[in-house]
Structure 1
């Protein structure tokens, strides 16, 4: 048992909504507030037959109710993923399928008694209804299970409970398919027997109809004439014994080659797009280089005017050409010369690179031309393959029609020539009818109902034994789980008393706890595919209002309330010890008992500022 104790508004109750959302619920029902504002991803680590399964799901964006970003990984001792590693690697649908298969839920079909429901398949999400008891569930006198009052949820719990209890044969789906197959075989044998017993003679209308059909499918020349019974039977025997059709193999339709050609075309187009991008980039580079060359040449021509001055001088306040005084001193002839020389070097470098750019552009355009040719050839081969596939399909369909006609002819000849086989047909009919009767008995819904009743009575005996020390109303009565009405019933001397007719919150909470402990004891002992965890939220609420004490002490409660809370918590602890590691009970409550067993089970104390969301996240 893992206990999380703390004051109100620390995030205890959100844990159920978080785990529910993590494991595939459509919408996130975590209450708006600090958690929704400060959390980016919700995550949990699950133990699955000794393997650690890490599941994370992104918190919906503001204004959104869900997110399809799910991260799933198998941890192997290397530590949990970092926040930066979390990204979508699966979907909620795939996650539900994975959890359904991992939990061991076999292929099943639940066929409810009400036709409105249709066929339902028990899945992981159905199993979760037995793992959550939030503070609204646990003290309800109307609903025993989590979300039972929502649309269709109560119906789904009622319909899938027989599977999770183990009342349905694990091979029921296989047997249902076998039953359908045996029924089809029975109808076929009945038709064969009627044909064998038909007054139609050896070469009557049926035989002539088969000859006509053989002509239509190409097994017989259209000009063939069968004027006598002997000739008709001779032709039919020839058709039935024709090894050419019997030994012919159906040619593959070439779809694999077509897929390969289409895949090749996709690769060629991707390569062509890459070349196009490279050609565009090269052309842009060449254009920019040419523009730079033109600009550099103009600059060099302007700077070359320095050649007009033959005697450079350092005098910068007089014009070296006309000797007039200058207000702004110009660059010296030497500086202009140096700039001219540097520009000439850059221009030479760019001009020397241009031929190589042009050569690369030419090579790329040649590759483009080659790829266009390959694309045209690929399209030609695809078109040819499509035409060949159509021819093969026609040949295959014709072969199937011929084979079907040969089968009819062989069946007719066996009935006409081997009348003694009627006895064998009757024996086969009897065998099929016997098998149908056996399968129908094994799949009888009444047997499933009887098994559910028996198993619920056993679970009721667990509940009755656990209830002895709780001091609940109707104590000492035989308790049972009512699978049809999804409630708990106490069978008293005055008659049955369902949960809805019991009074006081203490009774409602107590019987909720008893029912779920009894169910999980059954699930664990029968190795049923139900998650091995059970959340109880605020089971003390009937005695311990959340505003009573910030430290979780029972000191201010009346003695009888203190004892009732201790008895309930001790029962939950004892059952967790009884079932061991097969079941983890997570209990969230305000109460913080001083008993050692309680102290040992506490994993979190959310008091004095400690909460699900750390204080430094709020800074």
Structure 2
């Protein structure tokens, strides 16, 4: 990603315009006295980049400014974005935007909403609107969109944080940013990618669905088991009382119970005796049919025997036909002989083979005999001694309980539990196909690479670190903090002084930006604003320092505060050189009160302005 701030623009209420210009690929230093507006520049940049709260001083600064603006270069494009000055503590919703960086002829006027402008700039920062925070906290809601402002945590080291012993990032006193940092850190530094996060979120969603379906299947099976247990108990009792046939199959138990309830509610009681009578009656009817068919079979056989005997009596006809020429014939002889011959043939056909009637009757008799055998088994299966209700009240209580259980368990879906096995298989297949790159190994490699980069910075500035000059970098990923570790040990140490903490802050942020650039990061802009890194040494320049350090006595120059400040400037200067060597652009903006002689010979340090002798962000002459 390419980014640098070309200028800070202020539209004063006096209708004048104040601007401060910065250079790319430089350490841009604004130095000068306190209370001249240096720190306010950091607050103004933050305000223009969608801050919901602001830290701009009302006195001198805000009371004299109508609009604040930034002219920025983003990925070879030039933008001008401005925001109306806040009213008291209330941030303004009014924004002006030019996609060509064009300055308005007079004072800006609102021409875009914050949401649209933020979305436009987020696209340049490679922040996909589909990327959401996977898990929430006390302030951040789960699945809320990732904000551009979260990535700006990597672009500032305020004077409140530069020497802090335990905090390395600004805004960590605000719950929203405190929760956001660990959630966007991996994306910012290149450990993870937006594409991988979207895949991980999709996979997590599929896994949640799979768990729900598996839980549903388990609960369905559990419910089915409970239902079957209740059903078995109820059926057993109903059979014991003779209310349900003792041979009722398990798959017909529900229907048998329903039928029993319906029959009892309609008043058509049937006890075992009634069942016995009914079965006995059915056996009698079936036996009667069998006997009838047997009689028919006997009579039919007799009929066929008679026909055969008749056929035998007509055998002379066959002789006459054979000796037709030798017979004496009358006028009706031919007709009689022909009719007798035809009758003889019909008798032969009828008695020669079994007819379909023979087979049909045999099959019917077999079926009836099977029915009779089943009925006889049912009759034998009826209990000899049945449980009995003490009175009708107990009987109807049992029937009522059975009805209630059927209504509770035997809903339309209970007979056949929903089968979600296909859905489970589909979800498992989708999860298997969705390849999500693991990040744990990348976290470890990133930490090692960061420590290696920071170790180079430690070597460059070891003279300023005193006893810790030979210590090793030890970045704590989970805490997002930098520690120093004594060589060949596994424990970190408290480095103590604010001077050392200042260097640790510089080491960490420079190391993070170096790795972001090396990894081709697109979410973190390549710029860094540092507010007064020399605070551990001087609150203000004193006369002794202005005179070149006279009165220092025999102090070693390498251990002096001046030497440490110069080493810090050399570190920043060297970082710009490193970025250039990588073919990258990087911009620093530093607010200080040190003398420009401290960076003599550093090619990448650029003096923007000296806020002294009446020159300030809001010049005194304009405020009189």
Counterpart in the other structure of 2:124: 102
Q: Unaligned 5+ residue runs, structure 1?
A: 195-200, 206-421
CA change 1:534–1:553 in 2 (3 A) is farther
Q: 1:521 aligns with which of 514, 520, 524?
A: 514
Counterpart in the other structure of 1:603: 608
Counterpart in the other structure of 2:571: 571
Counterpart in the other structure of 2:504: 511
Counterpart in the other structure of 2:99: 74
The answer to whether 1:156 aligns with 2:180 is: yes
**Contact 2:78/2:99 (8 A) holds in 1:** yes
The answer to whether 1:562 aligns with 2:562 is: yes
**Structure 2 SS opposite 1:14:** helix
Kindly state the Cα deviation for residue 19 of structure 1 after the two structures are TM-superposed: 0.4
Counterpart in the other structure of 2:456: 465
Kindly state the Cα deviation for residue 571 of structure 1 after the two structures are TM-superposed: 0.7
Kindly state the Cα deviation for residue 108 of structure 1 after the two structures are TM-superposed: 1.8
In 2, the alpha carbon distance for the partners of 1:587 and 1:191 equals 60
Q: 1:485 aligns with which of 461, 479, 484?
A: 479
Q: 2:444 aligns with which of 453, 464, 483?
A: 453
Counterpart in the other structure of 2:82: 56
Counterpart in the other structure of 1:312: none
**Contact 1:52/1:75 (8 A) holds in 2:** yes
Kindly state the Cα deviation for residue 569 of structure 1 after the two structures are TM-superposed: 0.5
**Structure 1 SS opposite 2:72:** strand
Kindly state the Cα deviation for residue 174 of structure 1 after the two structures are TM-superposed: 4.4
Counterpart in the other structure of 2:593: 590
Q: 1:90 aligns with which of 88, 95, 112?
A: 112
**Contact 2:532/2:593 (8 A) holds in 1:** yes
CA change 1:452–1:115 in 2 (3 A) is farther
- Counterparts of 1:117-196 in structure 2, within 5 Å, are 118-119=141-142, 120-171=144-195, 172-174=197-199, 176-177=201-202, 180=205
In 2, the alpha carbon distance for the partners of 1:24 and 1:115 equals 22
CA change 1:463–1:112 in 2 (3 A) is farther
**Structure 1 SS opposite 2:485:** strand
Counterpart in the other structure of 1:349: none
The answer to whether 1:544 aligns with 2:538 is: yes
Kindly state the Cα deviation for residue 573 of structure 1 after the two structures are TM-superposed: 0.8
* Bigger helix fraction: 1
In 1, the alpha carbon distance for the partners of 2:216 and 2:496 equals 65
Counterpart in the other structure of 1:270: none
- Counterparts of 1:225-374 in structure 2, within 5 Å, are none
Report the count of equivalent residues. Answer: 388
In 1, the alpha carbon distance for the partners of 2:83 and 2:613 equals 30
**Contact 1:182/1:435 (8 A) holds in 2:** no
Q: 1:496 aligns with which of 491, 509, 517?
A: 491
In 2, the alpha carbon distance for the partners of 1:170 and 1:497 equals 33
Kindly state the Cα deviation for residue 435 of structure 1 after the two structures are TM-superposed: 4.0
CA change 1:188–1:159 in 2 (3 A) is closer
**Contact 2:157/2:169 (8 A) holds in 1:** yes
**Contact 1:22/1:56 (8 A) holds in 2:** yes
In 2, the alpha carbon distance for the partners of 1:180 and 1:150 equals 30
Deviates more, 1:3-12 or 1:170-179: 170-179
In 1, the alpha carbon distance for the partners of 2:115 and 2:69 equals 17
Kindly state the Cα deviation for residue 34 of structure 1 after the two structures are TM-superposed: 0.7
Counterpart in the other structure of 2:312: none
CA change 1:181–1:603 in 2 (3 A) is same
Q: Provide Cα deviations, 1:27-60, integer angstroms capped at 9, x if missing partner.
A: 2211232112211111111111111111111112
In 2, the alpha carbon distance for the partners of 1:160 and 1:476 equals 32
The answer to whether 1:436 aligns with 2:427 is: no
Counterpart in the other structure of 2:291: none
In 1, the alpha carbon distance for the partners of 2:212 and 2:153 equals 43
Q: Provide Cα deviations, 1:406-454, integer angstroms capped at 9, x if missing partner.
A: xxxxxxxxxxxxxxxx9xx999976753442454x727xxx33442232
In 1, the alpha carbon distance for the partners of 2:89 and 2:449 equals 45
Q: Structure 1 length normalisation: TM-score?
A: 0.56
Kindly state the Cα deviation for residue 599 of structure 1 after the two structures are TM-superposed: 8.7
**Structure 2 SS opposite 1:2:** strand
In 2, the alpha carbon distance for the partners of 1:463 and 1:33 equals 40
In 2, the alpha carbon distance for the partners of 1:553 and 1:590 equals 15
**Contact 2:28/2:605 (8 A) holds in 1:** no
In 1, the alpha carbon distance for the partners of 2:139 and 2:72 equals 36
Counterpart in the other structure of 1:531: 525
Deviates more, 1:558-567 or 1:34-43: 558-567
**Contact 2:139/2:176 (8 A) holds in 1:** no
Counterpart in the other structure of 1:316: none
**Contact 2:54/2:89 (8 A) holds in 1:** no
**Contact 2:84/2:92 (8 A) holds in 1:** yes
Kindly state the Cα deviation for residue 8 of structure 1 after the two structures are TM-superposed: 1.5
**Structure 1 SS opposite 2:170:** coil
**Structure 2 SS opposite 1:44:** strand
Q: Provide Cα deviations, 1:483-522, integer angstroms capped at 9, x if missing partner.
A: 3212112222454326xx2211110100000100001111
Q: Provide Cα deviations, 1:537-586, integer angstroms capped at 9, x if missing partner.
A: 11112223314249967535663222111111011011012213521011
**Contact 1:554/1:562 (8 A) holds in 2:** no
CA change 1:461–1:87 in 2 (3 A) is same
CA change 1:113–1:609 in 2 (3 A) is closer
**Contact 1:553/1:591 (8 A) holds in 2:** no
In 2, the alpha carbon distance for the partners of 1:183 and 1:135 equals 45
Q: Structure 2 length normalisation: TM-score?
A: 0.55
In 2, the alpha carbon distance for the partners of 1:142 and 1:104 equals 31
**Contact 1:24/1:93 (8 A) holds in 2:** no
Q: What is the Cα-based RMSD across aligned positions, in Å?
A: 3.7
**Structure 2 SS opposite 1:168:** coil
Kindly state the Cα deviation for residue 165 of structure 1 after the two structures are TM-superposed: 1.8
CA change 1:112–1:165 in 2 (3 A) is farther
Deviates more, 1:15-24 or 1:95-104: 95-104
CA change 1:114–1:29 in 2 (3 A) is closer
**Contact 1:127/1:530 (8 A) holds in 2:** yes
**Contact 2:31/2:595 (8 A) holds in 1:** yes
Q: Provide Cα deviations, 1:463-500, integer angstroms capped at 9, x if missing partner.
A: 111111212142222213223212112222454326xx
Counterpart in the other structure of 2:71: 45
Q: Which has the larger radius of gyration?
A: 2
**Structure 2 SS opposite 1:463:** helix
